[in-house]
Amino acid sequence: MQQPRPTAGRRAADRTGAGRRGALGPDAGDPDAARLALLLDSAFLLLLAASLNRYLSHHSGNVQAPWVIGLSAALAVAQPAGSWLDHHRPTAPGRRRRWPLALVVALWVVLVLLAPSFAWCAVPLIYTALRALPAKAAIPLVGVLTLLVVIAEIRLPGGVDATLVLLPPAVAALATGVFLFMARQAARQRALIADLVRTRRELAATERREGTLAERARLAMEIHDTLAQGLSSQQMLLQAAERTWDTHPATARTHVRTAAEVAARNLAEARRFVHDLAPVELSDGRTLDRALRALAERESAESGLPVRFHLDGTPVPLPTAAQSALLRIAQGALANVREHAGASAAAITLSFLGDQAVLDVADDGRGFDPDAVGTGGEAGSETGGGGESGSRRGYGLPAMRARLRQLGGRLTVESTPGEGTVVSAAVPLEQR
């Protein structure tokens, strides 16, 4: 048995890196990720500029001012540079370089120890850490950054303000919680999309397979009901010609000419298959009753079995599929009568009964017991009209039922030993 494959959701989660193994944010190269990085860099630079302006306005003459200015400039270059590397020089899908973030955090730590007023630059750094690191590494780093912010607030002149001490942890917790929630929601959405794409592909593949099988079954039915039966007729005619060739040459030549006519019709059928699979008898606008009447006349002339056609009711237009199915069923049933029933006569009746069209093919042959051979009337599947042996042929009735099933119709076989057989095919008229 083939081993089960990982689900698309699991694969998507692995690719996005959500959770323990990968970065929480979008992959590098994602347009949304690029826009978010630009927003974070802009916010960082804005906060950095505001913090530097505040520091210089209060400590312009401080000996540490040149260091603060230099570190600020370094941060102003390092943060955007790290984002640019992530999105334009990616290392691998879903991964980021860690050293640009480490450099920015290190510069910021030194800067905030020199000038506590730079503490609020930690807010965009928190988001950057959440996007660049796995949760197990990002959350401790966020805690360290928050602690440094609190320490910086305590070091500010003017005494300890409880609000400034409590506010950074609250902001950090809120930012972390919202970011983690949104990242995991995004991972679930990506997993769902991957599942939907996979399901759609599998459905398309299944539909293609089913369409192929349906087309094969349709071709099998067409070949069975036309070419195979024509070849069978040719074989019987040629065998009859061989038996009478020496004693009755004229009769033998008649059989050969009839076989040639059957071959010509089979050739026309084969060409029709290549074109559109429509029966030759229904081409050029011919109606089903005319095609059935021609079938009865041709069968009578070729096989010597008298076949009469009877139309009951007023004909109504039928869809091409229904006409083709009923014509093929009539051909198949007559082939069974000719080859297996030992009948002296047969009849084709087409009836229009208001809500359905019914085709009956009856013969006065030897008949059979439907229950004994497994047809069971409507449920039968192995024996056709005239007592067709399921072990030898067995495809006739299943093909007939398959045709009718596609049209919402049904097939019934009625037979009694010594009293002939009736094959009845009904098609609802609401199909048109």
Is residue 207 in some structural domain? no
Is residue 36 domain-shared with residue 167, that is, in the same domain? yes
Please give the Cα distance from 85 to 59 (Å, whole number): 35
Is residue 25 in some structural domain? yes
Is residue 419 in some structural domain? yes
Is residue 260 in some structural domain? no
* Domain carrying residue 94: 8-202
Q: Which residues pair with 421 in a beta bridge?
A: 363, 415
Is residue 244 in some structural domain? no
State which of 171, 202, 233 marks the end of a domain: 202
Mean pLDDT of 48-75: 80
Tell me how many degrees the CA angle 195-199-201 measures, rounded to the nearest 5: 120
Is residue 188 domain-shared with residue 331, that is, in the same domain? no
Name the nearest CA neighbour of 405 among 214, 269, 228, 210.
Answer: 214
Domain total for the chain? 2
User: Which amino acid is it at 109?
Assistant: V
> The domain that contains 393 carries what CATH number?
3.30.565.10
Residue 423: band (very low, low, confident or very high) from pLDDT cuts 50, 70, 90: very high
pLDDT one-digit tens code per residue, 296-326: 988 888 778 899 999 998 888 888 888 888 9
Residue 381: band (very low, low, confident or very high) from pLDDT cuts 50, 70, 90: very low
State which of 143, 171, 202 marks the end of a domain: 202
Name the nearest CA neighbour of 311 among 347, 282, 362, 349.
Answer: 349
Is residue 403 in some structural domain? yes
Give the torsion sign (CA, 169, 174, 179, 181). Answer: positive
State which of 202, 229, 264 marks the end of a domain: 202
Residue 422 confidence (pLDDT): 92
Region for 29 from its dihedrals, namely left if φ exceeds 0, alpha if ψ lies in -120 to 50, beta otherwise: left
Is residue 36 domain-shared with residue 164, that is, in the same domain? yes
Please give the Cα distance from 51 to 120 (Å, whole number): 8
Is residue 299 in some structural domain? no
Residue 283 confidence (pLDDT): 65
Question: What's the pTM value of the predicted model, to 2 decimals?
Answer: 0.42
Please give the Cα distance from 117 to 35 (Å, whole number): 28
Query: Distance of CA 92 to CAs 10, 15, 17, 28, 96, Å?
Result: 19, 11, 12, 8, 8
Please give the Cα distance from 387 to 383 (Å, whole number): 6
pLDDT one-digit tens code per residue, 166-222: 777 887 888 788 888 888 888 888 899 989 988 888 888 787 787 667 767 767 766
CB-based contact 285:317 (threshold 8 Å)? no
Residue 153 confidence (pLDDT): 72
Residue 391: band (very low, low, confident or very high) from pLDDT cuts 50, 70, 90: very low
Residue 19: band (very low, low, confident or very high) from pLDDT cuts 50, 70, 90: very low
Residue 360 confidence (pLDDT): 94
Residue 216 confidence (pLDDT): 74
Phi, psi of 309 (to 5 degrees): -115, 140
Is residue 17 in some structural domain? yes
Listed range (60-74, 247-261, 274-288, 384-398) with the worst mean pLDDT: 384-398
Tokens of 169: 């942890």
Is residue 311 domain-shared with residue 180, that is, in the same domain? no
pLDDT one-digit tens code per residue, 106-136: 888 888 888 777 777 777 778 777 877 787 8
Dump the DSSP string for 264-326: HHHHHHHHHHHHT---GGG-TT--HHHHHHHHHHHHHHHHS--EEEEEES------HHHHHHH
Residue 351 confidence (pLDDT): 92
User: Which amino acid is it at 336?
Assistant: N
Share of the chain above pLDDT 90, in %: 7
User: What SS3 class is residue 106?
Assistant: helix
User: Which amino acid is it at 28?
Assistant: A
Residue 395 confidence (pLDDT): 55
